[in-house]
Structure 1
Amino acid sequence: MYPKELNYRMPAEWDKHERTYISWPVQASMVFPDNYESVSRGYAEIISAIAEFEPVTVIVNPEELETVRQMKLGDNVTLLPVRHNDAWLRDNGPTFVVGEGGELAGVNWKFNAWGGKYAPWDLDDNVAPQILEQAGIGQFDAPLVMEGGSIHTDGEGTLITTEECLLHTNRNPELSREEIEEYVRKYTGAESIIWLKRGLSGDETDGHVDNIACFAAPGKVIIQVCGDPQDENYEITRENLRILENTVDAKGRKLEIVQIQQPPRVDYDGSRLTLSYLNFYFVNGGIILPVFGGTAAETDKLAEQTLAGLFPDRRIRTVNGNGVIAEGGNVHCTTQQMPARRA
């Protein structure tokens, strides 16, 4: 049976966590392997920030355990030896779902490295089952190639995604839009799916939603916007904004929309970096927010102020958003939350 038929649902990210999972970077798979030391420092900063709020389990290749242990990431951090090819656990880790009685299970999606972009990915495709086995959590195997960064939920039956990613022919070319939507519903418990069109310009994930829009609460969506008509993101974000303004959620509510201004464009090695404040991560009692400094100093401040206003009961903990961004993602992409189990 499917999770939905057994009354499992994908909870909101702001629900209480038992812990956060994150993978340690693998130099051999990096886009810029010469940056391994600086990227490792970026991961260490993210891990230490999250550990201020909740336990963190770091997936580490066995041969690197001692090296990572020497970094002294803190008492709230546990290392777990699991072989992996790459370090974006949001996308190859399990999507946790919660039953009516509070019991946990995990969805094991198929993973093909964002449409076959980075070979090999066989180890990454086997990470989720190992996490679930280690945690003693039941597993649902989904016959669908999908990454966790491509979906976001309000925890009340509404899920948001992009057509650019979920309908891309490099994921599930044999399936129709209707078939993909039905699988997503069955495995996440969603009742309604909001389809945005595209993700941010330059996003090599083919438009993951966690860079462009997310729920702040049931009925409330944050979207990153662009005010420069000469920027490719201007029309992308305007089109997505129009969709959100003209839709309702699973409960029939018209959405309240909060806009966050994107940081100024930054290029690296001839390509645009996918800078997004929406790649923040909810932790227990806080939010881990990537900021970028330099030309982004003003938008950094605005993003922090906006989130502080939206979440007055959460501490906004900023981290250096430049630490890992050249590898293609940021804080949210590196993490996967395990919801708190209830007796």
Structure 2
Amino acid sequence: MPAEWEKHEAVWLAWPHDKISFPPTRLTRVEERYVEIIKALSESELVNLLVLNEKMRTRVSEMLKKRGLDISKIIFHITDYADVWLRDYGPMFVLHCEEKKLSWIKWQYDAYAKKFPMLLKDNQVFYNLKNKIKASMLESNMILEGGSIEQNGSGTLLTTEQCLLNSSRNPSLSKKQIEGNLKNFLGATNIIWLKQGLENDHTDGHVDDIARFVSPDIIFCAYEEDENKKNHHILKKNFEVLEKALDQNSTPFKLVKLQVPHLVYDDNKPFEAGSIAPASYTNFYIGNTIVLVPTYNDRNDENALKIIQSYFANRKVIGIDCRDLIYGGGAIHCITQQQPAFY
């Protein structure tokens, strides 16, 4: 499986429409952010965009044109889908170097251990679209969301015990069997198990909110300096695991801390007002020429952008306000899925 910073042919997204995840006024603002995101992405790579119907396609096209976007760089796919978290239910691409071909893996999706029944139909989306992808499909019976794994393109894969060993996801599979699937399907040779994810993460601890590779040997780590915050203890344990961990060549990693923002929910959806949101700067997307980073109108935003830019000299780092998107439970990385180029 190629690393995210390797060359992409395209990126996949789904246009937001779910009024449960995003009540009407918030949905309007989320759509505005999507226009920003798609405009930036379209200048970096081809964009595959899911829409519900022709009416939505026409409306979205007009919104994008008004922002000066070249619609020829967007491929619309009309299909039924519930929500935007395409990283989790979408295709996961792998390259077969010897055979010189691209394949994509269809894992099973159960809407986060069936906590959100209205999202279960998203497991079907890419069965319906399989003929639209110019690559062969590999199918696994294992439940796996894309946000639950992170890998460096060289054999090392990160995940969390909280998510992949959750008894509600794959109760019939042992840890050894889960590791076997990750090795067989993704080419992983070295699996590192972190403990758990951010407080209030309804995905049960997705790793893309806590640790991300930016090169084969450098990991950005979400961190909380305030010892009075619950996330301090969670993230400290993960950091300690990575301090002791070795890569596929038995070499230590370079770890870079990214202080988490302190966004709290201001209503009772999805958590009680005043609860900390599962917000993190590690939920960025690495495109061909850009890096899209979630921001939260937080005092830590500017420093996070500076740190990330310092590791991507050949890419433009762009901050995207995700204060409304996070109300659905995720940010930039959660709504995108890269399709690698074969070369």
Q: Is the structural similarity TM-score above 0.5? A: yes
Letter of the 2:291 partner, please give it.
I
Given that residues 290 and 320 in structure 1 are in contact (C-alpha distance below 8 angstroms), is that contact kept between their aligned partners in structure 2? yes
Change (3 A) 1:78 1:16: same
Q: How many residues align?
A: 330
Given that residues 262 and 276 in structure 2 are in contact (C-alpha distance below 8 angstroms), is that contact kept between their aligned partners in structure 1? no
Q: Which runs of 5+ in 1 are unaligned?
A: 1-9
Secondary structure of 1:279 counterpart = coil
Q: Distance in 2 between matches of 1:194 and 1:125?
A: 27
Report whether the alignment pairs 1:329 with 2:330: yes
Given that residues 268 and 326 in structure 1 are in contact (C-alpha distance below 8 angstroms), is that contact kept between their aligned partners in structure 2? no
Deviation of residue 247 (structure 1)?
Answer: 1.0
Secondary structure of 1:272 counterpart = coil
Given that residues 149 and 206 in structure 2 are in contact (C-alpha distance below 8 angstroms), is that contact kept between their aligned partners in structure 1? yes
Q: Which residue of 2 aligns with 1:7?
A: none
Q: Which residue of 2 aligns with 1:5?
A: none
Secondary structure of 1:70 counterpart = helix
Change (3 A) 1:26 1:169: farther
Provide Cα deviations, 1:254-288, integer angstroms capped at 9, x if missing partner: 11111111112422322321111000000002211
Q: TM-score, normalised by structure 2?
A: 0.92
Letter of the 1:307 partner, please give it.
I
Q: Which residue of 1 aligns with 2:32?
A: 41
Q: Which runs of 5+ in 2 are unaligned?
A: 268-272
Q: Which residue of 2 aligns with 1:86?
A: 83
Deviation of residue 19 (structure 1)?
Answer: 0.7
Letter of the 1:255 partner, please give it.
F
Q: Distance in 1 between matches of 2:168 and 2:82?
A: 19
Deviation of residue 120 (structure 1)?
Answer: 3.0
Report whether the alignment pairs 1:69 with 2:61: yes
Q: Which residue of 2 aligns with 1:281?
A: 285
Given that residues 93 and 128 in structure 1 are in contact (C-alpha distance below 8 angstroms), is that contact kept between their aligned partners in structure 2? yes
Q: Distance in 1 between matches of 2:43 and 2:212?
A: 23
Q: Which residue of 1 aligns with 2:259?
A: 261
Q: TM-score, normalised by structure 1?
A: 0.92
Report whether the alignment pairs 1:166 with 2:164: yes
Report whether the alignment pairs 1:13 with 2:10: no
Given that residues 104 and 137 in structure 1 are in contact (C-alpha distance below 8 angstroms), is that contact kept between their aligned partners in structure 2? yes
Given that residues 106 and 132 in structure 1 are in contact (C-alpha distance below 8 angstroms), is that contact kept between their aligned partners in structure 2? no
Deviation of residue 29 (structure 1)?
Answer: 4.6
Q: Which residue of 1 aligns with 2:218?
A: 220
Given that residues 32 and 327 in structure 1 are in contact (C-alpha distance below 8 angstroms), is that contact kept between their aligned partners in structure 2? no
Identity of counterpart residues, as a percentage? 35
Report whether the alignment pairs 1:208 with 2:215: no
CA RMSD of aligned residues (A): 1.6
Aligned partner of 2:295 among 279, 291, 295: 291
Q: Distance in 1 between matches of 2:232 and 2:160?
A: 16
Q: Which residue of 2 aligns with 1:145?
A: 143
